[in-house]
Amino acid sequence: MSGERAQSVIWWGGVALLAVFAAERVAHLEWAAVAPSWWFLLTALGRSWLLAVIAIGVGICAAFPLALLRVYGPPGVRHAAVGVIEAVRATPELMIIFWVYFTWPYLAGNQVTAWNAALGSLSVIAAAYLAEVIRAGLYSVPAGQIEAAHSSGLSSYQSFRFVVLPQALRNMLPALIAQLVALFKTTSLVYAIGVMDFFCAVNVTKNAVFAPYALYLVLGAGYFISCFAITRVVRWFDPQYQLVE
Amino acid sequence: MTLDWSILWQFRQALWSGLLTTLWISAIGIIGSTLIGVTVGCLGSLPSLLLRRLTGSYVELLRNLPMIVKLFFLYFVAGLPAIAAALLALSLHQSAYIADVTRAGIRSIARGQVDAALSLGHGWPQVFRYVLLPQVLRVVMPPMTTQYVAVVKNSAVVALIAVQDLTFETQQINVETFRGFEAATAATVLYILVALAVIGTMTWLQPRAVRR
Amino acid sequence: MIEFRQVHKHFGALHVLDDISLRVAAGEVVVICGPSGSGKSTLLRCINRLEQIDSGEIVVDGISVAGTRDIARLRAEVGMVFQRFNLYPHLSVLDNLTLAPTKVRGLPKAKAVAAAMELLGRVGIPEKAAAWPAQLSGGQQQRVAIARALAMQPKIMLFDEPTSALDPEMIQEVLEVMMMLAKDGMTMVVVTHEMGFARRVADRVIFMDAGRIVEQGPPEDFFTQAKDARTQAFLSKILSHV
């Protein structure tokens, strides 16, 4: 369509113009003040990643049994699983972080470091949200698939492992990406209990040197690139996506 | 370990005013993000490459930045008053998700509906107003409910710029009495109740919005 | 009434309309047939700019389709009926018929309702005015869709395989409504494989293949003495199974 081509030209022209304009503005930001902190900021971004990766790892390990209990568990257990998952999902993430931080001393009798509290709360959040993603994925496989698997002689475990699970994993991919990105963004909230994550580090630097725009550009870029990378990396594992692209 | 729940009664005034702040901030956040999000979602559904790219960039940019980054930028860097920064950050943040929900809802309506309406001479505003949005409303109510609960949850972040919402008051109680556990428990229960109220309202609205 | 001048259109690498030139006179009934993917539906959809053309020109009722700034006005004069009916599922039958007249033409509601009821009578289902589209059979839905298009009092009616999605026993009731329209002098362009309809009603039959008009003529010639091999092959397939 000729209209499409014209619009495409306008779009890329606009993008180029904006890029030139932005580059000029960005070049004049207070980089000299920020430059000495680059290693500090980079390690802090690494710390945010570490938080996210560990929380996702723990979260997935906890989410699978939770989701299976919610879908296949006996009635009492099922309701308990629903209760836990939904309660966590209805509570603000910041509240959960505070909650773990304050509750730990009562449960364990000793103080908890902010880092461990951050890890614990992020893992709880990851577990609840990922359990929901997995449940939706399991439900997305039509019942006829299990019937077909059973009728071809596969055991219950085999039908789950070889028929239901592969389809469920595929179907849950978009929601999984959304949750992983959401989780990475949530790591920014551990700032509230004093963990030196990327968000915290940028704000600490901002209080030390006067370079708000440069620092917030770094902040935004750090999160945007990280989240974008998560989206791309997860999609890269999807064979169907590779075919489409 | 000894718990002292009487602390909650002692600070009932603070909790109550915090809850009210959370409620009205969330309400405005819900309205604001819906207005922006639905508009962006509709624009992105028009047969225009330029609009698709523009709205797509808007959504992509906002979705990949944490809410707290937007909030702190508006408050500390752009210098808005705390309440204004809170409302704007909340609305902008969720509008990206609501735009996506709207766009997906519109895409779920058969292309033939648009063809039919256009062939009868309706302009795009009428196509949206009379043909698409009434049908989209049926499909988007459940995902919208999720988004509205998310607004309530994200509103907790505004406590970090000293807006005196429920989370902020919880912090205050902890600072004054070191009874963080009791206060956080109470606040969590209140947040869950608000979420349930949002879900209940949307469930109540669903048949009423669809029947017309 | 409708004129195509050297119209070309591509979908990516596919040349869906390849140098189409065509005139349809006022009151004429033209049937277009051809194998799937031959471009016949696209040709129809270009007439009211549901599809844009790459080059050439289409003039409808003296207005250039590509050039007009007010495409909605042109579309209001050109009714269209779709394979899948495309009734609005959230509106009653009556509201389906009155939406465009009231919102596009600005007709008072009462007048639009009266006109709609008369049209429902003409297509034979006045008792279904209050029903929802989902409660109707396919044939009834398609008749409502025709009535909805007629409610705008169009000068031209386009039919895009109007009976292909119908169960066999419902095809006749839709064709009868279309024959009635033709008898009343409506200008019609019909994409269909209903050759019985073409034989009885069409002034001209057009055969398309691979984006080109291969052959055209009055039905008696078209069915008995088709010259092109592709037309003959197509006709033998489609007529033998009838």
Cβ within 8 Å, pair B49-A106: no
Give the phi and the psi of residue C5 in degrees, each rounded to 5: -120, 110
Q: Do C88 and B113 touch (CB under 8 A)?
A: yes
Q: Contact B75/B82 with Cβ under 8 angstroms? A: yes
Under a CB-based contact definition with an 8 Å cutoff, are residues A122 and A186 in contact?
Answer: yes
Residues on chain C touching A6 (C-beta within 8 angstroms): none
Contacts of B66 in chain A (CB under 8 A): 185-186, 188-189, 199, 223
Residue matched to tokens 């009578």 = C121
Query: Residue C56 in 3-state DSSP?
Result: strand
Does B122 sit within 8 Å of C100, measured CB to CB? Answer: yes
What are A161's two structure tokens? 């492992």
For A104, nearest residue in chain B (alpha carbons): B181
- C52 has a chain B CB within 8 A of its CB: no
CB atoms within 10 A of CB A5: 10
Amino acid letter for position A76: G
Helix (H, G, I), strand (E, B) or coil at C30: strand
**Contact residues, chain B, for C82 at CB < 8 Å:** 112, 115-116
Of B3, B64, B167, the CB nearest to A181: B64
The alpha-carbon gap from C98 to the nearest alpha carbon of chain B, in Å, equals 11
Rounded distance, CA C22 to CA B180, Å? 81
* Three-state SS at C22: strand
Closest CA to B117 of A179, C117, C91, A207: C91
Mutation for C interface: B113, B114, B120, B212, most C CBs within 10 A? B120
Q: Characterise A135 by phi-psi region: left (phi > 0), alpha (psi -120 to 50), beta (else).
A: alpha
Residue B116 to residue C152, Cβ atoms within 8 A: no
What is the reported pLDDT for A244? Answer: 42
Q: Give B121-128 contacts, CB < 8 A, sequence gap 24+.
A: B121/C72, B121/C73, B121/C75, B121/C76, B121/C77, B121/C100, B121/C104, B121/C105, B121/C152, B122/C72, B122/C99, B122/C100, B122/C103, B122/C104, B123/C72, B124/B46, B126/C103, B126/C104, B128/B42
* Six token digits for residue C195: 């050759």
Smallest CA–CA distance from B61 into chain A, residue: A224
Residues in chain B where the model's pLDDT stays below 70 = 1, 211-212
Q: How far is A170 from chain C (nearest CA, A)?
A: 30
Nearest CB to C50: which of B118, B130, B131?
B118
Task: Among B118, B120, B131, select the one facing C152 at the smallest CB separation.
Answer: B120
pLDDT at A240: 60
Q: How far apart are CA C6 and CA C10, in angstroms?
A: 13
**Could you tell me which chain C residue has the CA closest to the CA of A4?**
C52
- Closest residue to C72, CB basis, from B113, B122, B134: B122
Q: Min CA distance, B203 vs chain A (Å)?
A: 16
Q: Which residues of chain C neighbour A3 with C-beta distances below 8 Å?
A: 52
Q: Do A10 and B50 touch (CB under 8 A)?
A: yes
Q: How many contacts does A have with B, using Cβ atoms within 8 A?
A: 109
Q: First CA to last CA across chain A, in angstroms?
A: 21
- Vertex B59: Cα angle to B53 and B63 (nearest 5): 145
The C-alpha of C12 sits at a distance from chain A's nearest C-alpha, in angstroms, of 9
Q: How far is A8 from chain C (nearest CA, A)?
A: 16
Q: Which residues of chain C have pLDDT under 70?
A: 240-242
Q: How far is B158 from chain C (nearest CA, A)?
A: 41
Q: What is the ipTM of this complex?
A: 0.89
What pLDDT is attached to residue A73?
Answer: 84
Please give the residue of chain A at the shortest CA–CA distance from C13: A1
* CA distances to A81, B17, B21, B100, B149 from B193, in Å: 19, 16, 15, 27, 11
Secondary-structure percent of chain A, ordered helix, strand, coil, rounded to 5: 85, 0, 15
pLDDT tens track for B129-141? 999 999 998 889 9
Tokens of B67: 């809410």
pLDDT tens digits, residue range C135-175? 999 999 999 999 999 999 999 999 999 999 999 889 999 99
DSSP letter for A196, please.
Answer: -
Q: How much is the pLDDT for A170?
A: 85
For residue C211, the distance in angstroms to the closest alpha carbon of chain A comes to: 17
Look at residue B211 in the predicted model and tell me its pLDDT.
58
What's the helix, strand, coil split of chain B in %, to 5?
A: 85, 0, 15
pLDDT at res. A172: 87
Predicted confidence pLDDT, tens digits, chain A (245 residues)? 457 788 899 999 999 999 999 999 888 888 888 888 889 999 999 999 999 999 999 999 999 899 988 888 888 889 998 998 999 999 999 999 988 888 777 777 777 888 999 999 999 999 999 999 999 998 888 888 888 888 888 888 888 888 888 888 888 888 888 889 999 999 999 999 989 999 999 999 988 888 889 999 999 999 999 999 988 887 777 656 544 43
Beta-carbon contacts of A163 under 8 Å, excluding residues fewer than 6 positions away, are A141, A145, A146, A148, A149, A154
β-strands C2-11, C55-60: how paired? antiparallel
Q: Tell me how far apart the alpha carbons of residues A144 and A132 are, in angstroms, rounded to a whole number.
A: 22
Helix orientation angle between B180-210 and A93-108, rounded to the nearest 10 degrees: 150
